[in-house]
Amino acid sequence: MSLTSTIALPVTGLTESGITCHQVHYQLTPEELTAQAVQRQEGELNDSGALCINTGEFTGRSPQDKFIVKDIITEDTVNWNQFNIPIGEKYFHQLKAKMLDYLNANDEIWVRDCYACATPAFRLGIRVITESPAASLFAHNMFLRPAEEELEYFKAEWQVIQAPGFKADPAVDGTRQHNFAIISFVHKTILIGGTGYTGEIKKGVFTILNYLLPQFKDILSMHCSANMGKSGDVALFFGLSGTGKTTLSADPSRRLIGDDEHGWNKNHIFNFEGGCYAKCIDLSAEKEPAIFRAIRSGALVENVGFYEGTQEIDFSNRAITENTRVSYPIHYIPGSVEPSIGGVPANVFFLTCDAYGVLPPISRLNEAQAMYQFISGYTARVAGTETGVTAPKATFSACFGAPFLPLHPAAYAEMLGRKMKAHNVNVWLVNTGWTGGPYGTGNRMSLTHTRALITAALNGTLQKGNWEKDPVFNMDIPQSCAGVPQEILNPRSAWADKVAYDEAAAQLAKLFNENFSKYADRVPAEILIEAPLAV
């Protein structure tokens, strides 16, 4: 086995993990990985120097093909459902052996050691083994990057093996189809095959942390972004994929802590990751300057198109997917906090992309309403993030992250409830979806307005104004906010057809109630009475 590496260290444990491929590229720099990808014609540079690749058949996650090995650890603890699909241990072993044979038959592979969890006490060493330099660059950008001296003592507790070119045989491998992501807690391994969508790598690691941290470290794991004001006040933005966590946390007046995955320990919050994975559909320097400028050398852009005859990205191009993405290290966002740790949050925002256009652009929640909304996780699956979703699709995604939660949602909700109560946190529901009508009739909420509302909530000016109650959802709605037209604050007044609004609101209230019925026996009465009024 020969090794290319920019650091003069032996890589431990490779042979033990079954890697015998004769050329192993270990811990290469972003420049080296980018150059290799270009040379192998797996990608090209845009005019600002970022590596642009196509991820192939899959440009979004495939939740139906994500499995957890049902074994002695997981059998009685995982909340088996449509997101936590069991697979037998024999299939894990079978597929791992086949994947290793496949990788070892390649001329070269890439190995990268990295960490998850910014707080040193909770750090998890992860080894990411890939068949392409671009996937190794993704791991470099998204996870925490150990310093060279840390590599000497690095312990790869978990392994991610990613081979998009390897395809399972569903007839013998226990999968649904040729692509799969399989997590084994006994063997501390994630196998990803048949798909090149890099999001599977990060969300696979997120899934294991969502299992381990609440159960064994008493840490609440959260699908949220986080940033910090000048006085150190922390805000969290929960939301299912594509609802605005990355966009809204990249706020030039605040410091970014992380864009997607965090833990809440007793007295601080910390990022799991070391980078961001932003959607770049319709990205512009004017609307999202920090993200736009992060697209430069070292960044990895997925599935975009160029203006003809140029290397300039056409961010409006949807030819491959709506789920165009860029990954970059967190320090590409000016002023980001490193290590990515902050104090107890003062404000929590639940971002809901309401495809019905019924919910107010912002509402203030009391404690019980906050729990009701968190458990409900009402939002939309946006186009492209999951395979097969081509238009926003209303969904209830518990804790705003159901596809990544191996435990019952009540486990996370109870922890969040205790923490919010103990720290007197302000909780807001923000509709980043539709206004003036449902998807197809109304408009997507203006980003400028959403930002103005969040700023007013954070600086306290919103609290000082007058409020009214939403008659169906019973939440407080502000009557005014600087920079936001008054008529959109109350969603009913934003709809031209009031009868249609009332019908849509009643329909949504009904859906809320139907969805919540499955939690009724685990939730106290003071939360149950916050259900929207269903007529």
Ligand X SMILES: Nc1ncnc2c1ncn2[C@@H]1O[C@H](COP(=O)(O)OP(=O)(O)O)[C@@H](O)[C@H]1O
Ligand Y SMILES: C=C(OP(=O)(O)O)C(=O)O
Take residue 74 and report the two structure tokens written for it: 């997981």
Q: Which residue's CB is nearer to ligand Y, number 392 or number 491?
A: 392
How distant, in Å, are the alpha carbons of 21, 197, 299, 367 from that of 514? 53, 34, 43, 22
Residue 242 marked ligand-binding: yes
Q: Which residue's CB is nearer to ligand Y, number 199 or number 491?
A: 199
Q: Which residue's CB is nearer to ligand Y, number 195 or number 426?
A: 195
469 is catalytic: no
Does position 438 interact with ligand X (CB under 6 A)? The reply is no
CA 289 to chain centre: 21
130 backbone φψ class: left, alpha, beta (φ>0; ψ -120 to 50): beta
241 is catalytic: yes
Partner whose footprint covers residue 167, from ligand Y, ligand X, none (CB < 5 to 8 Å by kind) = none
The whole-angstrom separation of Cα 95 and Cα 131 is 16
279 is catalytic: no
CB of 241 to ligand Y, least distance (A): 3
Contact assessment for residue 409 and residue 375, using Cβ atoms and an 8 Å cutoff: yes
Q: Which residue's CB is nearer to ligand Y, number 203 or number 449?
A: 203
- Name the nearest CA neighbour of 182 among 105, 102, 88: 88
Could you please report the per-residue DSSP string of 139-188? HHHHSB---HHHHTT----EEEEEETT----HHHHS-SSS-EEEEETTTT
432 is catalytic: no
Q: Give, as ranges, the residues between 211 and 270 that touch ligand X (CB under 6 A).
A: 239, 241-248, 259
- Hey, what amino acid is at 67? F
47 is catalytic: no
Catalytic pick among 223, 254, 255, 449: 223
Residue 239 marked ligand-binding: yes
Residue 248 marked ligand-binding: no
| Contact string (CB under 6 A) for ligand X, positions 268-307, x = contact | ----------xx-x--------------------------
What is the maximal distance between C-alpha atoms in the chain? 71
Residue 351 marked ligand-binding: no
Contact residues: ligand Y, CB under 6 A: 61, 199, 203, 241-242, 260, 277, 385
Helix (H, G, I), strand (E, B) or coil at 473: coil
245 is catalytic: yes
Question: Tokens 């440009």 belong to which residue?
Answer: 59
Partner whose footprint covers residue 198, from ligand X, ligand Y, none (CB < 5 to 8 Å by kind) = none
61 is catalytic: yes
The whole-angstrom separation of Cα 422 and Cα 140 is 37
423 is catalytic: no
Cite the annotated binding site for Mn(2+) by residue number: 203, 223, 260
Binding site residues, ligand X, CB under 6 A: 239, 241-248, 259, 278-279, 281, 432, 444-445, 447, 450
Cite the annotated binding site for substrate by residue number: 61, 197, 203, 325
Active centre residues (catalytic) = 61, 203, 223, 241, 245-246, 260, 325
